Amino acid sequence: MQRVTVFAAALALCAGSTAYAQDYAPTEDAQDKDAKKLTIGDTAPPIDIAHWIKGKKIDEFETGKVYVVEFWATWCSPCRASMPHLSKLQEQYTDYDVTFIGVSDEDLQTVISFLFKEDKKDGVIQNERTRYTLTTDPDQSVKNDYFRAAGQRGIPTAFIIGKDTKVEWIGHPMEMDEPLEAVVKDTWDRDAFKIKFQDDRRAQEKLMKRQKQFAAAMGAEDWATAVELYWDSAGGLNQVAWTIVDDANVKNRDFDVALKAAQRATELSEQKDAAILDTLARVYYEKGDVKSALKWQRLAAQTLSDDDPLADDVREALKKYQQEVDSEI
Query: Which domain range does residue 107 map to?
Result: 21-201
pLDDT band at 99 (very low <50, low <70, confident <90, very high): very high
- Convert the pLDDT of each residue in 189-235 to its tens digit: 999 999 999 998 888 888 889 999 999 999 999 999 999 999 999 99
Average pLDDT over residues 33-38: 73
The rounded distance, in Å, linking the Cα atoms of 227 and 214 is 9
CATH number at 308 reads 1.25.40.10
* Domain match, 261 and 292 both: yes
* Domain match, 173 and 250 both: no
* Domain match, 169 and 278 both: no
- Convert the pLDDT of each residue in 166-195 to its tens digit: 999 999 999 999 999 999 999 999 999 999
Average pLDDT over residues 242-253: 95
* Domain match, 49 and 195 both: yes
Residue 210 inside a domain? The answer is no
Closest by CA to 77, choosing from 141, 158, 20, is 20
Q: How many domains does the chain have?
A: 2
Point out the least confidently predicted range of 83-92, 199-208, 231-240, 281-290: 199-208
Judge whether 248 and 242 are in contact, CB under 8 Å: no
pLDDT for the residue 29: 41
The reply to whether the predicted model has a pTM over 0.85 is: no
Q: What is the mean pLDDT of the chain?
A: 89
pLDDT for the residue 279: 97
pLDDT for the residue 35: 62
Average pLDDT over residues 28-44: 72
Residue 234 inside a domain? The answer is yes
pLDDT for the residue 110: 95
